[in-house]
Amino acid sequence: MGLVTPHFIDERLNSFLSEQNAGESDRIMAVVSSFLPDAQCQSNWFVLTKERLLIVAEMNGKYEILFSYILKDLKEVRSQALKGGGVIIVESNDVKQEVFRYPNSQGALFGSICDCIKGFLNNGQALTFEDTLKVVMKEELNKFCSKCHRPKLSDIKACPFCIDRKKVVFRILSYAKPFSGQLIIVVVLLAFSTLLQLLPAIITGKIVDKVLAQGQVDLLVPLLLALGGSMIIRTALGIVHARISVDIGANVTNVVRKETFDHLQKLGLNFFDKQNTGSLMSRVSHDSQSLQGFLSEGIQYTVHNFFLIFFIGITLIYLNPVLGCLILLPTPFVVLISKLSWRKLFSDFRQYSDSASNLTAFLSDSLNGIREVKTSGQEVRMQKRFAFWSDESRDKIVKAEKTLQSLIPLLNLIIQSSLIFVWYFGSKDVLFAQQNNPSDFSIGDLVAMIGLMGILFGPLQLLTRLNDWMTRAITAADRIFEILDVEPDVKNQEDAQNTKRLVGKVVFDNVVFGYEKHKPVIKTLSLDVKPGEMIGLVGKSGVGKSTIMKLLMRLYEVNDGSITIDGRNIKEYSIETLRENISVVMQDSFLFNRSIADNISFGHPEATRKEIILASIQANAHEFIMKSSHGYDTMVGERGLRMSGGERQRIAIARALLGDPRILILDEATSAVDTETEQKIQNALQHLIKGRTTFAIAHRLSTLRNADRLFVIEDGVVVESGSHDELVKKEDGIYKKLVTIQTDWAKKVFIGGD
């Protein structure tokens, strides 16, 4: 049991709260926790009203208030994550109290509730049930469709059961606006082509009536020439509009694909942390290709067959109104059944697309990690897992195709059943006309109608395939649009400053951040770094050292507090300004499958070969590069796997140095090099860091001896700061303990001590 609205709680509790002036009209929400304060407690409730905060417990069958606060008198209400759960801390009259405990499953919920209360305390914003519910349940509500309340199948946004097909189609077509001239040409050509398609049936009727029935042999050759000419012209028009349609489809798909990739580049790491790379690859490549098939073939056939139904319908009714209506009778039934079946088909094909994305994602992961798979002997296990995803993908497509293939014959039967009635009533009309007035309805007219009916079967049957095309295209487009509709969590402000050169003064002021907001990794962290200063960040793995640097580069937004560079909040700078003035060498440097020179100049493609070589010399990379098969033009392989770990690191260092940054970040930059190479790089760095603000992260503390200051991070806050010499003199200091541990370990390894 979790969040409960004001109206749906236990009657006894409701009566008790009413007695405490916290009845339904005043109460915003009540939340029960599975964590109980003691053994005598049966339930523990967090109750929020418009003016008060109550902690209510059921003790021995009776409710009692453990804590009661007036909201406006509170200084702070916050949630704090602990192992296995969390706690609500209330500060009032300079006294802090832990008033309520909750499990991990309710961490996001209570984090959001505290945010609402914080907004009330900061600006006096009135608390209402509706507004508070919007905030506290945002994450939970996003898992369900707001219309049908089904769980969403997508891992990003849209509900496949409630997708607005018309809206998606019009959005697809909006991308074709730049090609509207070509579209108009296609429509005109299709109209002429459709009219020409009617001529064979009409000419055949004339041959039956004029040549065969009346013996006007002199008309045979002209009619046959007209028949052949119409076929040739129609074929030529078909080739032209098909080529133009292919061009439109390819161009529109290319625009959508590039826009999707461009949008992905704008999204923050927070988005990619929650997504699977293989799934995103599938959306950009496979789904965009599915979209192209619809644009190049589906649309032209749809327009063409719309014209066919329209023109044939007019012609049939002109020849014989009763028979014409009889032939057209199945059309509304086909349209209705197609429409009713679309929701089921869309859901099935959407599930298949998601399953195919999972298969692609697994394939991508397994091939990228093929060395780990082989070295750990997990080939058989990976084969079984691939078989599982492959079987699931097969089951989904079989389910979707079986539904579709069952529908198509049924619709075809409905369409073709009218042929029986046409022959019956048509034959009777011909016989009646021959006995009374042969000009009313001839055998040629019946033959022409049967021929037109055969042509009409094509577009009517295509309605069933169009359902397939539309379903696949809308499924693909919807998955692409889901990405395009994601708002970047890190973006430029409207008045963002483009400053070419920063000085490098960096200040962290009470920064709070968590990858999950209710579980902060960085807690009220403060740093003040002078321009040109070299700072070392020290601490155990997982304390947030690399996270601090990611916040500085604004790869994530801080939850609270601020980061300033040169006295200005980093949000006031454009993202481009920040990235141009900050260079970073990560612990695991990524290299693209390009040449060494391309990788070094990746951030600065305008760099000359001379500048690339100079940066490589400073990073102690020039010597091994020149020994490579093609020097700076040597391909590094996928993810740089043709290079050793030390070589990859030095290429990454050269890449960072090429930008001549004002702020340099070295995140375990020398962790993958041998001692001799490390010493050379350290000597080079001593010259390079002059005039630059440098942040260095290293587990090997000996590499930080020359730092101006060291900050020791523990549990997301700075617990010690000072130079290396100052910190090693601190008795019982954390830094001194770390140095001692590493020194003792080095003795055991290299000296063989006990």
The DSSP element (H or E) to which 742 belongs, if any, is: helix 734-750
In a domain, 159, yes or no: no
Give the model's pLDDT for residue 4: 46
HSE of 406, CA atoms in CB hemisphere, 13 A? 9
Is residue 690 located within the same domain as residue 634?
yes
| In-domain check, residue 152 | no
Chain mean pLDDT for the chain: 78
- Angle at which helix 379-436 crosses helix 321-328, to 10 degrees, equals 170
Segment 591-607 shows an average pLDDT of 85
- Which of these ranges, 60-64, 439-443, 733-737, has the smallest mean pLDDT? 439-443
Which of the listed ranges 30-39, 112-121, 432-441, 573-582 does the model predict with the highest average pLDDT? 573-582
**Average pLDDT for residues 191-202, to the nearest whole number?**
81
Distance in angstroms (rounded) separating the CA atoms of residues 60 and 55: 16
Same domain, yes or no: 207 and 115: no
- Which percentage of the chain shows pLDDT scores above 90? 4
pLDDT exceeds cutoff 60 at 157: no
Secondary structure (3-state) at 314: helix
Determine the average pLDDT of the residues in 128-141: 54
Residue 563: the pLDDT is 93
Q: Are residues 465 and 515 in the same domain?
A: no
pLDDT band at 562 (very low <50, low <70, confident <90, very high): very high
Residue type, 177: K
pLDDT at 75: 86
Q: Averaged over 707-736, what is the pLDDT? A: 86
Residues 14 and 56 in one domain: yes
Query: The domain that contains 179 carries what CATH number?
Result: 1.20.1560.10
pLDDT band at 754 (very low <50, low <70, confident <90, very high): very low
Q: Tell me the pLDDT tens digit for each residue of 233-280.
A: 988 988 898 888 888 888 888 888 888 888 888 888 888 877 777 677
Domain presence at residue 489:
no
Q: Which residue has the higher pLDDT, 602 or 122?
A: 602
**Whether residue 608 sits in one domain with residue 469:** no
In this structure, the chain runs to a length of: 754
Q: Distance between CA 175 and CA 258 in Å, rounded?
A: 12
Same domain, yes or no, for 586 and 545? yes
pLDDT band of residue 668 (cuts 50, 70, 90) is confident
CA dist list (Å): 90 to 17, 34, 38, 49, 290: 21, 20, 20, 16, 55
What is the model's pTM? 0.66
> Is the pLDDT score of 594 beyond 70?
yes
Higher pLDDT: 149 or 540? It is: 540
587: domain CATH number?
Answer: 3.40.50.300
Q: What pLDDT was estimated at residue 39?
A: 63
Same domain, yes or no: 446 and 545: no
**What digits encode the pLDDT tens for the residues 1-27?**
344 444 446 778 888 888 877 766 677
What is the mean pLDDT of the segment spanning 46-56? 86
Averaged pLDDT, 420-424: 74
343 & 455 share domain: yes
With beta carbons less than 8 A apart as the criterion, state whether 351 and 150 touch: no
Q: Is 617 domain-assigned?
A: yes
SS3 49: strand
Say yes or no: 470 and 528 in one domain.
no
Looking at residue 7, its pLDDT comes to 40
Most trustworthy range by pLDDT among 323-332, 384-393, 474-483, 717-726: 717-726
Predicted pLDDT at 753: 47
What is the chain's alpha carbon radius of gyration, rounded to the nearest angstrom?
36
What is the CA angle 106-110-111, rounded to 5? 115
Q: Predicted confidence band at 477 (pLDDT cuts at 50, 70, 90)?
A: confident
The beta strand positions in 593-691, using DSSP E, are 663-667
3-state secondary structure of 276: coil
Write out pLDDT tens, residues 685-716.
666 677 789 998 877 777 787 788 999 998 88
Q: Is residue 158 part of a domain?
A: no
- 346/126 Cα distance (integer angstroms): 44
Number of independent structural domains in the chain: 3
Predicted pLDDT of residue 6 = 42
Top-ranked range on mean pLDDT: pick from 89-103, 271-285, 298-312, 350-364: 89-103
* pLDDT over 50 (residue 82): yes
pLDDT band at 681; cut points 50, 70, 90:
low
- 322 and 443 housed in the same domain: yes
What pLDDT is recorded for position 116?
A: 78
More confident residue, 271 or 418: 271
Residue whose tokens read 């929020």: 48
From residue 464, how far is each of 30, 305, 353, 668 by CA, in Å?
Answer: 52, 12, 20, 60
Based on the fold, state whether residues 331 and 450 are members of the same structural domain: yes
**Could you tell me if 121 and 175 lie in one domain?**
no
| Identity of the residue numbered 708 | D
CA distance 537 to 147: 50
Query: Can you tell me the mean pLDDT for 196-207?
Result: 79
* Domain hosting residue 642, numbered range: 506-750
**Looking at the domain assignment, is residue 298 inside a domain?**
yes
| For residues 312-335, average pLDDT | 76
- pLDDT for residue 165: 72
Where does the pLDDT of residue 52 fall: very low under 50, low under 70, confident under 90, or very high at 90 and above?
confident
Q: What is the pLDDT of residue 1?
A: 35
Q: What is the pLDDT, as a whole number, of residue 425?
A: 72
Mean per-residue pLDDT, 188-217: 79
Residue that terminates a domain, selected from 450, 484, 518: 484
Show Cβ contacts of residue 446 under 8 Å, excluding neighbours closer than 6 positions.
205, 426, 427, 429, 430
Residue 151 lies in a domain: no
Task: Look at residue 219 and tell me if it is in a domain.
Answer: yes
Of 29-38, 464-473, 520-529, give the lowest mean pLDDT range. Answer: 464-473
Q: CATH number for the domain including 136?
A: 2.30.29
